[in-house]
Amino acid sequence: MKRDTQSMTLSKWFGIDAILFGNRDPKSFMSEDTHKSYSIAKVAVLSNLVDLYEITKYSPAFRVRTSGEMKAFSLSEASIALDKARLFLMSEHISESVKLEIEDIAKKERKQVNEVAGAFVDRKIKTTALDMFLVEDAIDHSVCKECLSDMKARILLDAHRTLRDSLIRYC
């Protein structure tokens, strides 16, 4: 693995926590077993991400000198991803779709819309932010766009969605 890819992947470790838990350290409120499972899920997401980088021939232009710079960069990128996710979900077409999904869930669960809306929107924001934080740049700046339609890339993107959802369960 290239050094830049290795550094970028490590920086994603911090950003995932920031997107899912904000300023809280997951180790401070998770049991030891839960934190271990969460860490394993993060490793799986990042391993899949490296495979996606390789297939798309994406090489992040990532230069930091210290772990402090890496963490600061990662937290900044995570914050940007959360802001972009909120804006995206507030767009007219998407917000209408989210509203319909919330109404469907409320009907199925026999609850009031306001009872399910907060948790659903929070989950949707985090899911979208993780996608933007982890794969958007790799897709946008991939050297091999046609590689994205390759069977292996599609499998990796499907795996990303499944692995991302496994992380969301922890928040």
Nearest to 57 by CA among 148, 158, 136: 148
Element (H, E) at 64: none
Cβ–Cβ under 8 Å, residues 91 and 126: no
Instruction: Please tell me the distance from the alpha carbon of residue 26 to that of residue 87, in angstroms, as a whole number.
Output: 26
Q: What is the pLDDT along the chain (171 residues), one digit of tens a residue?
A: 566 667 778 889 999 999 999 999 999 999 999 999 999 999 999 999 999 888 888 877 767 778 888 889 899 999 999 999 999 998 888 888 888 889 999 889 989 888 888 899 999 999 999 999 999 988 887 777 777 788 888 899 999 999 999 999 998
- Whole-structure pTM value: 0.87
Interior CA angle at 5 toward 128 and 148, to 5°? Answer: 55
